[in-house]
Amino acid sequence: MSACRPGCGACCIAPSISSAIPGMPQGKPAGVRCVQLDDANLCRLFGDPRRPAVCERFDYDHSLCGNDRYRALERISALELAT
């Protein structure tokens, strides 16, 4: 396991999130940028207790995230479609 790729943000765009997010009380659909993702693709809620549990549990995994953010978006989007 390695640390998240700074500025990637793929896990804040590609998957759907059904739980409430501050600013998105109904969650977010797949492919929609989370309102808590800043211009540098960093989560504004990182370390904040209001961050959804599903986001808290999402960890970097090279087999999913690949070598760059574009591969991560592609792979997470494909996983979202398959589930």
User: Strand runs (DSSP E) across 1-83, as ranges?
Assistant: none
* Cα 40 → chain centroid: 14
**Looking at residues 26-42, what average pLDDT do you find?**
96
Q: How confident is the model at residue 57 (pLDDT cuts 50, 70, 90)?
A: confident
* Cα 73 → chain centroid: 9
**Looking at residues 59-69, what average pLDDT do you find?**
90
Closest CA to 22 of 44, 47, 54: 44
- Boundaries of every domain in the chain: 10-82
**Looking at residues 55-63, what average pLDDT do you find?**
87
**Looking at residues 53-69, what average pLDDT do you find?**
89
Structure tokens at 76: 């997470």
More confident residue, 49 or 4: 49
1: pLDDT strictly greater than 70 = no
At residue 40, the 3 state secondary structure works out as coil
**pLDDT confidence of residue 82:** 93
